Each structure stands twice: as structure tokens, then as C-alpha cells.
Amino acid sequence: MSSVGVARVYRGTFAHSTRDSALRVLTDFVLGVNEQGKIAFFEEGQNVESLSHQWGFDTSDIEQLGSHEFFIPGMVDTHIHASQYIFSGTHLDLPLLDWLKTYTFPVELCYEDLDFAKDAYTKVVRRTLSNGTTTACYFATIHTDASLLLGRIADDFGQRALIGKVCMDRNSMVPDYKELTEGCKDETDRFVHELLKKKYALVKPVVTPRFAISCSSSLLSNLGKIAKNYDLHIQSHISENKHEVQFVKELFPDCTSYTDVYVKHGLLTDKTVMAHGCYLTDEELKIFHERGAAVSHCPNSNISLISGMLNVRNVLKHKVKLGLGTDVAGGYSSSMLDAIRRAVDTSKALCMQDAQLQPLSYKEAFRLATLGGSEVLSLDDCIGNFAVGKDFDALRVNLCVPGSPVDLFPGDDPEVILEKFLNLGDDRNIVEVYVAGKQVVPFPDSY
């Protein structure tokens, strides 16, 4: 294209969420991506002539989407354990604490081996990108070098990612899988320092105490200081399972609640994302709101590990930032489409118990998977929808690809087509994935 400033222009249907609307389906819009990968303009198709003059592109260079195609924003997985991907789809027969002891900790120990880590991390980054996860907030393991490797692989593939080296200095379940308090602090420092030094454009570190049960008070305080010193994101788990909540009460008798444990150690900030929160009280949700901390709702995991059912309506009522997570491998699917479906299912199950509740609509779940996730990770100034000035993180969806799992019929309008994709589609329909304007799926031949 001979234009100056605009690298690509698309015309067709775009669907996204805005601050005021869970879903806006915009037919015959034109979107320009500039050479920095940002959205230069996003306007009605009738403005195309004036846009072409303003931005200096030739209208014959516009890429026209088919009637069965549309763009949606890239999906944001706010909670996924990259290290557990190797057993996703299996080991779903135990509740959380037994599951960690029997399956998870023994597998995570293997990541000391960098060849093992490279194979697993390459596969999880490829799979999540193919499924349309343009941004992932990853837990790795306690191993610094393998965690740095996950950062490099995400950068190589062009995925936007927060990478967490897991921190834990307490583990009565599998005593070999933990660090000494001082060593964990030093290794976290090294991890943060080395990852930042790489200057990856889209990959950043996130301070990652596994959860209160596996961290001493001293370690939690040190991690709070590291997050503050480097102004970093923080991620952990909270109130996932009733036994876990009880255990935390016993371990931290001076704290008034599970939330208070993280508050007291400087770990509940406006850059914190806590997974689950099924049993958070209204008081705790108020604290989340006051501090600007976020919740990652992981419905597949919550059902698979028989943990609980988050009342999303109540979280939203408290104006707490909320997104969706796959929580691989407690959640058996690495696809955010599954997270959308399970979020709606869970809300309907709650409605069966309480007729006063309103179920989540597919539109609301779509918002949580895109704009909501960007808010959770405090990235909503740069991703989450197609606002001008944001990075072009986007999925090109085509429901008429060979072998498509979705059938269309005369009269299926763009909104129906989107709803069918969200409920029935899969990675076969996600024909192109863009992160910061760069096409990352299909993968280059070298990958």
C-alpha cells in the first residue's frame, strides 16, 4: 500500500463492547491500522472517500470482509497456568487441595528441565493464540529460568502476556516443591529484573504468590515490596474453595478475612488480579472496589474442581473489575470461547437456585472476555475494543471456512452470526489473529 501512516484498512462488520454497551455490532465500518499497529480510524463505510484523502490510501487497497466474516477484539485470558497445560483435559476428579497435591505440584516440579518447559510452553502459547487469546496472564512455576523461557516464547509468537514466576515457601502437600523464603525473594527479583531487561514490547512480569496457603507472611510482605518498587502487576488466588478459605483463616489468625491477608501484605492494589473469589463476602468486595483490585472468573475450573459458583451479578454490583479466565488445567479448556459459555452456564445454574437472579447474557460474557479482561489487567487504555488509538488486537472470524462447526441460514443477521460463533464456533473459525497490528495467526512457516 502506498499510503503514509496507514498500514492496512479493513471494511465490513466489527463487533465489540464499549463502556456503555455490552455489544455493538457495526456493519459496513472501515478500520485503519497505522504502522505502529494502532487503530488510526474506525468509521462508517460511507466516510471512506474522505478517509482515503485524509490518510492517503487508495480505496482499491481496502480489504473487504465477506458477509459471513467479522472482526472482534482479541480475547484476554486473565488467569491461566501455562505449566499445567500438559495435563489439561484430564485429572478432574479431585477437589482443589487434593488436586494440587496429587496432580499439579508433581507436574510443576518437572519445569526445572528447560527442554520439558520449552515443549510445554511452546504448545500452550500456540494453542491459546489459535483459540484467539491475544493477551494471557500466565502462572508458570517456581523455576526462574523456565519462567523467563515462557516470556521469550510468548514474545517469539507475538502474544501479549504477563508472566508470573510462581512464589511459594510453604508446601506441606509436596514438600519438595517450594523455595526457601530468602531464595524465593531473590529469585523473584532476578526474574523481574531479567524479564524487564529483555525489553519485550508486549511481555511483562507479574508478581505471583501462588496463594496465601503456600506463602509465609514474610514472603508475602517481600513480594508486596517488589511489586511496589517495580510498579508491577500482582496475581494470585482467593476464596476458590471452602476448605481453602478455612485453611487460610487458621494460617493467618490475625487477618479479618482472606482479602485482609493480601491487603496487610501490600498485595491488593489497582494492578492486582485475583482468580475465583467464589466465597468473597460483600465486605471483601467493597475492599476490592476501593482498592481497584480485580477478579478473574474461571467458571470451567470452578465447576470441574467442584469449587463453587461465582455470583457475577454481585461482583458487578460492587463495581469490581471482572474478567474471565480459563484457569488451565483446573479448567479443562484453553479456549476463551469455552470460558464465555461456562460463565453463562454458571449464571444460569445460580438462577435455578435463586429465581430473583438474572442470568448473564452472551453479550455480557463477551464483554467480560474482551473489554472486561483488559480492565482487569489495567490495559484498557491500550486494548479491549476498537477505540481509536488502541492497539489493533483482533480476531478475524469466518463462519464459512471448510469444516466449520457452524451452519448459517438465510436471515442470519450479523448479530446472530456472532452469537452462533460464540456458542458453537472454534479455532477453525478464527482465521487470522492480530496483536498490536501484527498478524500472529496463521503462524509463520518457521514456527
Q: Which position's Cβ is nearest Zn ion?
A: 327
Q: Give the residue with the Cβ less far from Zn ion, 3 or 302.
A: 302
Query: Minimum Å distance from CB 83 to Zn ion?
Result: 11
CA 386 to chain centre: 18
Q: Give the residue with the Cβ less far from Zn ion, 70 or 139.
A: 139
Q: Give the residue with the Cβ less far from Zn ion, 8 or 276.
A: 276
Query: Minimum Å distance from CB 92 to Zn ion?
Result: 14
| Footprint of Zn ion on 174-233 (CB under 5 A) | none
Q: Give the residue with the Cβ less far from Zn ion, 284 or 327.
A: 327
Q: Point out which span in 82-90, 98-106, 186-194, 327-335 binds Zn ion (CB under 5 A).
A: 327-335
Q: Point out which span in 17-25, 40-48, 221-229, 319-327 binds Zn ion (CB under 5 A).
A: 319-327
Q: Point out which span in 2-10, 50-58, 59-67, 325-333 binds Zn ion (CB under 5 A).
A: 325-333
The yes or no reply on residue 108 touching Zn ion (CB under 5 A) is: no
Q: How far apart are CA 143 and CA 158, in angstroms?
A: 23
Query: Do 307 and 301 contact (CB within 8 A), yes or no?
Result: yes
CB burial of 27-41 (b: ≥16 within 10 Å; e: otherwise) equals eebbbbbbeebbbbb
Query: Minimum Å distance from CB 237 to Zn ion?
Result: 5
Q: Pattern 254-293, binding to Zn ion, x per CB under 5 A? A: ---------------------x------------------
290's CB contacts (< 8 A; 6+ apart) are: none
Q: Pattern 380-419, binding to Zn ion, x per CB under 5 A? A: ----------------------------------------
Query: Do 151 and 195 contact (CB within 8 A), yes or no?
Result: yes
Q: Give the residue with the Cβ less far from Zn ion, 187 or 327.
A: 327
Residue 50 corresponds to which cell in the numbers above? 474522505
The HSE-up count of residue 226 (CA atoms within 13 Å, CB side) is 25
Q: How far apart are CA 291 and CA 303, in angstroms?
A: 28
| DSSP sequence for 65-107 | PPTTEEEEEPEEEEEEEGGGGGGTTS--SS-HHHHIIIIIHHH
* Given 77, 244, 327, 391, the residue binding Zn ion (CB under 5 A): 327
Query: Minimum Å distance from CB 330 to Zn ion?
Result: 6
Query: Minimum Å distance from CB 236 to Zn ion?
Result: 9
Query: Minimum Å distance from CB 153 to Zn ion?
Result: 20
Q: What is the DSSP letter of 391?
A: B
Number of residues that bind Zn ion (CB under 5 A): 2
Q: How far apart are CA 347 and CA 368, in angstroms?
A: 13
Dihedrals φ, ψ of 77, to 5°? -90, 110
Determine how many CB atoms are found less than 10 A away from the CB of residue 200: 17
E runs forming strands in 170-309: 203-209, 233-238, 272-276, 294-297
Q: Pattern 131-160, binding to Zn ion, x per CB under 5 A? A: ------------------------------
The owner of cell 499439579 is 104
Query: Minimum Å distance from CB 214 to Zn ion?
Result: 12
E runs forming strands in 267-381: 272-276, 294-297, 321-324
Q: Give the residue with the Cβ less far from Zn ion, 275 or 394.
A: 275
Q: Give the residue with the Cβ less far from Zn ion, 83 or 429.
A: 83
Q: Give the residue with the Cβ less far from Zn ion, 62 or 212.
A: 212
| DSSP H/E element including 123 | helix 114-130
Query: Minimum Å distance from CB 276 to Zn ion?
Result: 7
Q: Give the residue with the Cβ less far from Zn ion, 275 or 280.
A: 275
Binding residues vs Zn ion (CB under 5 A)? 275, 327
